[in-house]
A = this chain, B = another copy of it.
Amino acid sequence: MKSGTVTIYDIAKVSGCSPATVSLALKNDERVAQKTKEKVLKIADELEYRPSYFGRSLITGKSNTIKVVIPDIHNPVFANIVDGIEQYINQTDYHVLLDVTYNSREREQDSFSSLLHKQVDGIIISPIYEKEVTKYIQEKRIDTEKVIYVGIPCSGYDKIHYCTSDSKKGAYMGVKNMIENGCKRIAFLAPTIIKRQGARRKEGYFEALEEFGLVRDKNLVIVCSQNFSEIYQRTSRLVQEYKPDGIFCLYDYATFPVMKAVKDMRLCVPRDLMVTGYDNIDIVEFLDKPLTTVDPHQMEQGYRSAELLIAMLQGNKCAIRNVIEPTLVIRETTRQIQ
């Protein structure tokens, strides 16, 4: 036996048949006699044969690997998406190559080079710079059957498949719930980090206001950085100057400084002020004041996007738009005091 790797040639030698037959036998091809198959399999097992994926990929042109591109792994939103992807991919014979861009526009584009290198068969990406990425895909004429966006729809190019949840509707539901619980002056707190979905959620916010005949008040729409202390300060000012009776936050994390600011002003949630978040990250259920929030089902988005990509790679046609319905999870921060 050779010192290094065991190849089909080694099996061929021992079994007395040709490499081609061994290859076919290992794939359980019909054309090979049952007896031969058994012999080959037995020898392969004895020699602890492992197929070389490189050799195989070189000739087939497939890597059985997909790339997952996210801006951040720290953020539970993306961790949940990856979780869903892994859950699906684990059931297949594909592998996941992880690429974290740390919000870099350049890295986001670079991530496609492995697709061009044919090092991966497809890409699931949750782009921060969606417009730029979309433009890049168009310019480079990247095969759109190999790409899927997760967590965000694709704008301005109707060839790219995506799987997301309806952000506008989610925000609408969240705001509507506060209105139905008596809120008349609902603020919209939008830290800029997710301009991605922010615009859509704002639409949902406005829609709910309109439906219930509440006036838009510019002063109640706060755009700020995602910095905790900035959110804290902007909230304090907002509450002091414009006295909202509800705050809709663009994502759950932002509610931490918000709640703190409100508490420090000796106001009580939900009595004096209701608060709603977005994402339903798992801890908000166990906070001192369990948070009402919109659940965009990120894990499911991840799972579904993986399912779609694999289906496409296998040549199936899939719907371009895949939208999951968000769910409103009502907890204490919007519970009407009896």
Given contacts A83-B74, A98-B96, contact A116 B287 (CB under 8 A): no
A283 at the interface (CB under 8 A from B): yes
Does chain B have a CB within 8 A of A337?
no
> Can you tell how many copies of this chain the complex includes?
2
Pick out which of these stretches binds chain B: A18-26, A47-55, A183-191: A47-55
Please measure, in the bound complex, the distance between the C-alpha atom of A99 and the C-alpha atom of B288, giving whole angstroms.
35
Please state if A83 and B73 are interface contacts (CB–CB under 8 Å): yes
Smallest Cβ-Cβ distance to A252: which chain B residue:
B283
Smallest beta-carbon distance A270→chain B, Å: 15
A54–B50 touching, CB < 8 Å? no
Contact of B98 with A97 in the complex, beta carbons under 8 Å: yes
Please, what's the 1-or-0 string for A38-64, where 1 marks a CB less than 8 Å from any CB in chain B? 000000000000111111011000010
Q: Mark A253-288, 1 if CB is under 8 A from B, else 0.
A: 100110110010000000000000000001100111
Please indicate the chain B residues that have their CB under 8 angstroms from the CB of A54 in the complex.
54, 57-58, 63, 118-119
A251 to B: closest C-beta gap in Å: 13
Cβ contacts A72-86/B at 8 Å (1 or 0 each)? 011010011011001
Number of interface residues of A (CB under 8 A): 49
CA distance A257 to B253 in the complex (A): 20
A256, B285: Cα distance in complex, Å: 10
B98 near A86 with CB under 8 A, answer yes
Which residues of chain B are near A113, meaning CB under 8 Å? 50
The complex places the Cα of A40 from the Cα of B144 at a distance, in Å, of 31
Find chain B residues with CB under 8 A from A118 CB. 5, 50, 52, 54
Would you call A224 an interface residue if the criterion is a C-beta within 8 Å of the partner chain's C-beta atoms? Answer: no
B256–A286 contact, CB under 8 A?
yes
| In contact, B286 and A283 (Cβ under 8 angstroms) | no
**Does any Cβ of B come within 8 Å of A317's Cβ?**
no
Residue numbers in B under 8 Å from A52 (CB-CB): 58, 117-118
Min CB–CB distance A93 → chain B (angstroms): 12
Q: Can you name 11 A-B pairs with beta carbons within 8 Å?
A: A54-B54, A55-B58, A74-B79, A79-B79, A87-B102, A90-B100, A90-B102, A95-B99, A256-B287, A283-B283, A287-B288
Other contacts beyond A73-B79, A76-B76, A256-B283: 19, CB < 8 A: A5-B118, A50-B117, A54-B58, A54-B63, A58-B58, A65-B97, A73-B73, A79-B79, A82-B98, A87-B102, A95-B97, A95-B114, A96-B97, A253-B283, A257-B286, A259-B288, A263-B288, A288-B288, A288-B289
**Interfacial residues, chain A to chain B (CB-CB below 8 A):** 5, 50-55, 57-58, 63, 65, 68, 73-74, 76, 79-80, 82-83, 86-87, 90, 95-100, 102, 107, 113-114, 116-119, 228, 253, 256-257, 259-260, 263, 282-283, 286-289
